[in-house]
Amino acid sequence: MGEKSSKNSKISRKRFIKNGALALGATALVGCQSTAKNETEGININSGKKYQWKMVTTWPPKFPVVGEGCQLIADWISEMSGGQLTVKVYGGGELAPALETFEAVSSGAAEMGNGASYYWAGKAPSASFFSSVPFGMNAQQMHAWILHGGGYPLWRELYARFNLVPFLSGNTGVQMGGWFNKEINTMEDFKGLKMRMPGLGGKVLVKAGGTAVLSPGSELYTNLERGVIDATEWIGPYHDYLMGFHQIAKFYYSPGWHEPGTVLETIVNKRAYEDLPKHLQAIVASACERLTMWCLSDFEARNNEYLNKIKEESDVEMRSFPKEVMDELRILSQEVIDELVASDPFAKKVYQSFSTFSKGVKSWAGQSEKLFHNLV
């Protein structure tokens, strides 16, 4: 190619880039205008009306991370709405009993609540799938399913029956296996064991011959100390240390097979939510889901520090469940899930979505996260 041809080619490329950029900019401008128009249609920007809500929780008052997170939601809502919507937070027992949060919000006695969906399994059996499933998905996988894998529509469909709107609002990450005053060497050691364990994990414990006890966090230390229960799981080293379990238990087991990535939720009374202008609805949703990253990050930052404190300040023995025990618990877990799915049509629908997504995402994790963690 000659010098003149080369020069003309360069000019053509410059024109192409310049013209393309101008066209792209014009298209983007039109697109932005179109989107802005569509997004603002039907939105009541600010009616001037003020709203005062109450939030009840399953957590002890001002409880670290999870209770603090509820107050953060309230603060963020007030800040983003310029005070148009304010929320007063009540810890478990202050306005409603901790484990009656679901009923309080469903009935409208409070507009918001915070807890974990497996607490309501007695009312909605499939609710457990939206919190934690034994040997199920970890935190980031649960979030991926809920936000991008079809979980949210199913969750909202289920809760609509109870006049509720659910929001993803935190995650504990993988939990510990629990505090015991006896060793767990074989499945026989679960027989007759009274243990605080909610959700599907509690049903697995019952299949193993134990007794699952559901009690609020504020009662756990006293119940374990007095022998009302023989063992308890709670969350992880940070909270477990603050609860003082290392002072009254002999063994601290891992991993938390029953809760590999526990999703926390905020529930909102559906009528109260729909009564809000659109911009306040968006603020409520944003504040709830903003808490998810804050909560998970706080747990991750603190658990290592407090695991070391437990080791340094107590005589507690750190144990891992034997492989044979874990293998049997996995089998019993699947039996529990199969029975739930067979007994509840909606649970079958949810589990089909959950299990399909879980298989796919775990295949990816096997080629990414798992290989990386095996190196470090």
101-142 pLDDT, tens digit each: 999 999 999 999 999 999 999 999 999 999 999 999 999 999
Q: Are strands 251-254 and 317-320 parallel, antiparallel or unpaired?
A: parallel
d(CA 305, CA 84): 40
Which stretch, 6-15, 20-29, 245-254, 361-370, has highest mean pLDDT?
Answer: 245-254
pLDDT at 350 over 60: yes
pLDDT score of 370 = 84
Q: Which residues of 180-201 are buried (b: 16+ CB within 10 A; e: fewer)?
A: beeebeebebbeebbbbbbbbb
The pLDDT of residue 364 is 87
Residue-wise pLDDT tens digits, 173-191: 999 999 999 999 999 999 9
Q: Find, among 115, 145, 128, the residue nearest to 259 by Cα.
A: 128
Which residue ranges make up each domain of the chain? 51-173+262-299
pTM, whole model, 2 decimals?
Answer: 0.84
- Fold designation for 51-173+262-299: D-Maltodextrin-Binding Protein; domain 2 (3.40.190)
Write down the pLDDT at residue 38.
46
Residue 46: band (very low, low, confident or very high) from pLDDT cuts 50, 70, 90: low
Name the β-bridge partners of 54: 88
Looking at residue 31, its pLDDT comes to: 40
Q: How many helices (H) and strands (E) does the chain have?
A: 13, 11
The count of residues in the chain is 376
Strands 194-196 and 211-213: parallel
Task: For the chain, give the mean pLDDT.
Answer: 89
- Is the Cα dihedral 249, 255, 257, 263 positive or negative? positive
Separation of alpha carbons 48 and 85, rounded Å: 10
Name residues whose C-beta falls within 8 Å of residue 295's C-beta, 6 or more positions apart in sequence: 65, 66, 69, 169, 170, 171, 172, 264
What's the CA gap between 225 and 248, in Å, rounded? 6
CB atoms within 10 A of CB 256: 23
